[in-house]
Chains A and B, each alone.
Chain A
Amino acid sequence: MRSKDAHPARTAWLVVAGLIVFMLVLAGCGSSSDDNGGGGEELQSLGKGEGEVNLVSWAGYVESAWSKPFEQKTGCKVNNKVAGTSDEMVQLMRSGQYDGVSASGNATARLVDGGDVDPVNVSLVPNYETIFADLKDQPYNTFDDKPYGIPHGRGANLLMWNPDDVKPAPTSWDVILDPKKAAAYKGQISAYDDPIYIADAAVYLKMHEPDLGIENPYELNEEQFNAAVDLLKEQQPNVGEYWSEAAKQIQAFAGGDAAVGTTWQYQYFALQEEGKPVQASPASQGFLPKEGATGWSDTWMISSEAKNPNCMYEWMDWIVSPKVNAEVAEFFGEAPAQSLACDQTADKEFCAKYHADNPAFWERVYYWETPLADCGNGEEDCKDYNEWVQAWTAIKG
């Protein structure tokens, strides 16, 4: 039966023929997704809510504790989709099914360039006025002098270590980036798992290899870029684990798998709360290693195809209202964007712990941006994000 009826050749032929026919049929109507015309107009006045709002957010930004009261107050039902990475956020926003997104700086320019988001009329967001001044008019949330979103909160990437394993206390990123020093902690280094981590190497090189002339760690020409990538390739054999989710890193430090690495404030405080021996750069160093650090600042943006713009504006105002912004910041573990939120936190020390109202701290933080080929020097010779992605694949091997 087997030998008689089986015709692998014919099967293969049929599969291929089927594929070709449908390629031809469907290729014509395929992929017409790039409509760059996306509005570009901001909303002029606020109307009645549409009854629902569809959001894309980081895990922990939209929780029932503050979305339920919002629904009661405005009648806008909140539907939320959690994205794990900036890439995923961009992908979801391009589907045109969502009204807004809590975008980090490494997604904003891509969204603006793709015509996926519209400028925001900040006069329709009353709580915008009291947002920390150093979060407004930033290169990752303002394009062509137009604000494209409402700042939500920010954080810095700290250097964290287990003092039982790492002695003396490090003052520089060299403990994980200088190949000689990092070798001492081979297999116990915890590094962030994202192409944007290349910028961390650039921040380090900016101080240690001044000849490269790095200005902005997100605007790297070929030479600068290759230097950063090479540094991370040398780091790779020493890395115990690349982490992308906070819980993964918490478990790695708690389980003795990691001894030193780059972290968010959230993990640092979570581990301290569990009584784990972790330390981060002390106040005497301005809470950051001497090179400074990368960080993120998130912005709520409105889709250019928003079906519920009024509810989205209501949401943007709600999420930066003092009490709610305090709630989110404490839940997520980041510095609130709303200056008035610091009076509303359950932990009265919260804003101090996260340096929310300390501009000097944030001056040493390089917020995530999208690497673009056209990078302000007029040369268009910078490495774009796709090259960062490919390099990251090569770094991890």
Chain B
Amino acid sequence: MSRGAVRLSKRSTLLLRGAVGVGLAFIYVPLIVIVIYAFNSSKVLEWPPPGLTLSWFSKAIENEAAQEALLTSLKAAAAATAIALVLGTLASLAVARHRFFGRETISFLVVLPIALPGIVTGVAISNTFTQVLGVDLSLFTVIVGHATFCIVVVYNNVVARLRRTSVSFEEASADLGGDTWQTFRFVTLPSLKTALAAGALLAFALSFDEIIVTTFTLGAREETLPIWIFRNLFRPNELPIVNVVAVLVILLSIIPVYLAHRLTREEGGAVGRGGRGDKVEAEATAVP
């Protein structure tokens, strides 16, 4: 199937194409501006740029603080994603496969941390650690904060998948003598792969670019990339480097986004749940 299934009149299609074009332009014009400013020869962001230069790129790549911050961000995002994957999957299994009092509250509970302002979440978590528990702020507290609001994306993806996969496979496994763990390991988990990948990708992205909760939970020793950017954005001498770092991060992020997309598509075809491949694909992106 190489064409979409719905046919519209020429005029409607054209109108729709126009709307898509406008939307994409809205999304991409600022990104193009960022790319252009990465080559700006002046430190002041004027339009049009007085000249172009490549010199900021070498400065950005050599910037040790930025490298360290990138590494810290990757660590934090990986750890937060891992926690969110475990907690999100557990919660979604409970909700999709069991009935219990307060079941309907769970989806409410998981969405709350992302629905409330970051400043509220950040201050609340920071106060609990420093004042109630007496724990110093560190990368660990950042990870706790990030994991808290990342659970929802994993949960949503997995719960959507579980709702659509039939319980009969699991029942069959049980009937054939598989125990709870085996059923999970060999029947449930494989069918969740793509949903988990999509959830993980989004959790990672959310954590990687988070700034407000991070501001309040970060300790003395570390700095994540968004915090590094925040710190340098307001320093005229460093501003061009920030633009370059932003462009490099966008370029680097094409790889995981593309890979995850490929993965979800292939898996979608192979597992073939719910029939058509692109349906699975849609679900995998059914975030945030």
Contacts and interface: CB of A to CB of B under 8 A. Distances in A.
Direct contact of A and B (CB under 8 A): yes
Interface of A: 5-7, 10-11, 14-15, 26, 29-33, 54, 59-60, 64, 79-82, 84, 95-98, 245-248, 250-251, 254-255, 270, 274, 276
Contacts of A96: 130
A81 B220 contact: yes
Given A26-B132, A81-B220, A251-B45, A11 B235 contact: no
A247 B233 contact: yes
Interface in B126-153: 127, 130-132, 136-137
Contact of B132 (A15, A29, A81): A29
B219 interface: yes
A79 B221 contact: yes
Contacts of A246: 234-236
Contacts of A54: 220-221
Closest 4 CB pairs of A and B: A245-B234, A54-B220, A254-B44, A247-B234
B105 interface: yes
Given A64-B64, A245-B234, A250-B236, A274 B105 contact: no
B175 interface: no
Given A97-B220, A247-B233, A247-B236, A30 B131 contact: yes
A98 B137 CA distance: 11
A250 B44 contact: yes
Contact of A82 (B127, B219, B231): B231
B87 to A, nearest CB: 17
Interface string B107-136: 011000000000000000001001110001
Nearest to B222: A79
Given A10-B105, A95-B137, 14 more contacts: A10-B102, A10-B104, A11-B108, A26-B132, A30-B132, A31-B132, A54-B221, A59-B235, A64-B65, A81-B220, A96-B130, A247-B233, A254-B46, A255-B45
Interface string B39-74: 000111110000000000000000011000000000
Contact of B105 (A11, A64, A80, A270): A11
A287 B197 CA distance: 62
Contacts of B65: 64
Interface in B14-44: 42-44
B245 to A, nearest CB: 16
Contacts of B132: 26, 29-31
A22 to B, nearest CB: 11
B239 interface: yes
A230 B280 CA distance: 61
Given A10-B104, A14-B102, A246-B236, A97 B219 contact: yes
Nearest to A26: B132
B110 to A, nearest CB: 13
Contacts of A84: 234
B41 to A, nearest CB: 11
Contacts of A81: 218, 220
Interface string B175-218: 00000000000000000000000000000000000000000001
Nearest to A253: B44
Given A60-B235, A82-B231, A97-B137, A14 B105 contact: yes
Nearest to B128: A26
A97 B136 contact: yes
Contacts of A30: 131-132
Contacts of A255: 45-46
A371 B108 CA distance: 44
B143 to A, nearest CB: 17
Contacts of B42: 274
B49 to A, nearest CB: 12
Contacts of B231: 59, 82
Contacts of A26: 132
